[in-house]
Amino acid sequence: MTNPYEKYASLSPFELKDALIDLASSKTDRMMLNAGRGNPNFLATLPRRGFWRLGLFATEEAELSYSYLPHGIGGLPRLDGIEARFDAFLSREHQQPGVAFLSRAVSYVRDQLGLSASAFLHEMVEGILGANYPVPPRMLRISEKITREYIVKEMIGGLISAEDVDLFAVEGGTAAMTYLFNTLRTNGLVKAGDKVAMGAPIFTPYIEIPKLEDYRLESVMINASPEQNWQYPDEELDKLLDPEVKIFFCVNPSNPASVKMDNRSLEKMAKIVEQRPDLIILTDDVYGTFAKDFKSLFATCPQNTILVYSFSKYFGATGWRLGVIATHQNNILDDKIANLSAEEKNRLHERYTSLTPDVAALRFLDRVVADSRSVALNHTAGLSTPQQVQMVLFSLFALMDGDNGYKAAVSEIIRRRQAVLYRELGITHKEDDNAVDYYTLLDLEAISRQVYGDDFARWVQQTLNPTDLLFRIADETGIVMLPGSGFGTQQPAGRISLANLNEYEYAAIGKALRNMMEHYFREFSLNAGNTPPAQ
């Protein structure tokens, strides 16, 4: 009999999901539940209220320039007196939601960060109006200072001075990776045939990037172990000692296992870098803000690490497309460029000569900026200024949250959803201090073993094709999950996001999957000549 799902076997999980959604939504007598979608259904409202209130003040500032004209024409805001005018705005609008947040933000910038309140306000007002190119193109000056304070606090635990970190504001984590791989290749830091180590499981598109014709890199999988709570065993990390491995590329906390690297792994990585000082580390830390006491590889190996962070998940801002690339001011990327052959240096001099007379001094991160706009359009590079303003307000919101109330609230939302899912599945969930639980991997074989024993688990493994099973689940229950194998897991599992549905919907998923498992157990019992136990 022809397998109707075989044609989908080679698809990326994010392409496969469309077929699963079509199947899950094909019946009108039930609700389709898309548990594969990573977009959170919660978001930070206070910094958004601040954004809109700031926009109103900024518009008033613009209208001061041409207040004698009646046709809604404004001009560029003036720096002189802006702080006093803002104080008057706060006094007049003090009862409006978001105004108190703006007042505290300005005080924090002035009193805690030691920056000029007037300069900050002028940059924010001009930025939110979107009436100028980003200057400088890498990131607005005060915006970079504030955002890097947030990155250092949340990603690096304050272990590195913010002054030692450079940022490039980009259109989310995906843009960051696109730009980085392009510049790494363009500057000869990776070449076709080089090996890139991938910390698995990992976000599916990241697995696909090295294979592209643009790069033609050889992937080496560094496999986390589910038996070790999804940490990387030493023997896996030791693969990084191979001098042919140029880059270690990982997501931390991982996607979809949702576990941060523990201290043992970080210490192991530090020892590897001592032996491989030329190793480039590229880490996507988007889920780090959901973890307790998170420490990025940037904190452990700062000279070797390129850190990518997106504001998308934590602040519920996927549509804003906000992210940063962070490098240490003293990094091996600049050293590698300085040590290129004379021929390569001449080639790169021709590429970047329109930007500076001293191409040799052009730093890696500034090359990323230029390459993001094909060099010739470098002056128009960078994230739009209104986006940078919202990024700054998100950063200040987190920096001013001294008791981490927002972090505790969103973490509680996720863990309550996880609890009802596992309760209705009828299984226990092992607690792990390193887990952030943004996603969960449901390993049907492991669940079958826990509920009905080893014999049934073996039958499940031998009888049910993992991809077919996802389609059966979609068809029979209306539930969409993504295949864990598409993220590099070595055991078949379904990825469920705990961020995008409500508690009662996760309860419904748990019940439906449990009912389906009971159906398969009855089939197993009848085939084995056993009588299934009464439920």
Please tell me which residue, 4 or 253, carries the higher pLDDT value.
253
The tens digit of pLDDT for each residue in 138-192 reads: 999 999 999 999 999 999 998 899 999 999 999 999 999 999 999 999 999 999 9
d(CA 92, CA 254): 47
Domain range 45-129, CATH architecture? Orthogonal Bundle (1.10)
Using alpha carbons only, how large is the chain's radius of gyration in Å? 26
Tell me, what amino acid is at 68?
A: Y
Please state which of the ranges 283-287, 318-322, 409-413, 508-512 shows the lowest mean pLDDT. Answer: 508-512
Q: Which two tokens stand for residue 222?
A: 């560094």
Count of alpha carbons within 13 angstroms of residue 279, beta-carbon side: 28
Please state which of the ranges 7-11, 347-351, 379-383 shows the lowest mean pLDDT. Answer: 7-11
d(CA 124, CA 143): 8
pLDDT at 285: 97
CB 437 within 8 A of CB 40: no
| Protein fold of 141-400 | Aspartate Aminotransferase; domain 2 (3.40.640)
At 233, the pLDDT band (50, 70, 90 cuts) reads: very high
Beta bridge partners of 441: 495
C-alpha to C-alpha distances, 233 to 28, 248, 260, nearest whole angstrom:
47, 15, 14
Can you tell me which residue has the tokens 């003036």?
A: 78
* Residue 32 pLDDT > 80: yes
Nearest to 50 by CA among 89, 115, 103, 111: 103
d(CA 444, CA 26): 24
Q: Is the bond into 533 cis (omega within 30 degrees of 0)?
A: no
Please state which of the ranges 10-14, 75-79, 80-84 shows the lowest mean pLDDT. Answer: 10-14
The tens digit of pLDDT for each residue in 386-421 reads: 999 999 999 999 999 999 999 999 999 999 999 999
Q: Which two tokens stand for residue 107?
A: 């005080």
CB 129 within 8 A of CB 59: yes
Count of alpha carbons within 13 angstroms of residue 253, beta-carbon side: 27
* Contacts of residue 351, Cβ cutoff 8 Å, sequence gap at least 6: 186, 375
Domain ranges of the chain: 6-30+405-528, 45-129, 141-400
Please say whether the dihedral angle defined by the alpha carbons of residues 55, 108, 408 and 479, taken in this order, is positive or negative. Answer: positive
* Residue 529 pLDDT > 80: no
Rounded mean pLDDT of 51-60? 97
Rounded mean pLDDT of 102-125? 98
d(CA 480, CA 495): 9
CA 77 to chain centre: 35
Nearest to 157 by CA among 276, 285, 247: 285
The tens digit of pLDDT for each residue in 190-218 reads: 999 999 999 998 888 888 899 999 999 99
d(CA 307, CA 151): 10
The tens digit of pLDDT for each residue in 294-352 reads: 999 999 999 999 999 999 999 999 999 999 999 999 999 999 999 999 999 999 999 99
At 10, the pLDDT band (50, 70, 90 cuts) reads: low
pLDDT at 428: 84
Phi (first) and psi of residue 507, to 5 degrees: -65, -40
The correct CATH number of 6-30+405-528 out of 3.90.1200.10, 3.40.30.10, 3.90.1150.10, 3.40.720.10 is: 3.90.1150.10
pLDDT at 306: 98
Nearest to 518 by CA among 465, 462, 468, 476: 476
pLDDT at 1: 46
Please tell me which residue, 21 or 184, carries the higher pLDDT value.
184
The tens digit of pLDDT for each residue in 485-499 reads: 666 666 667 889 999
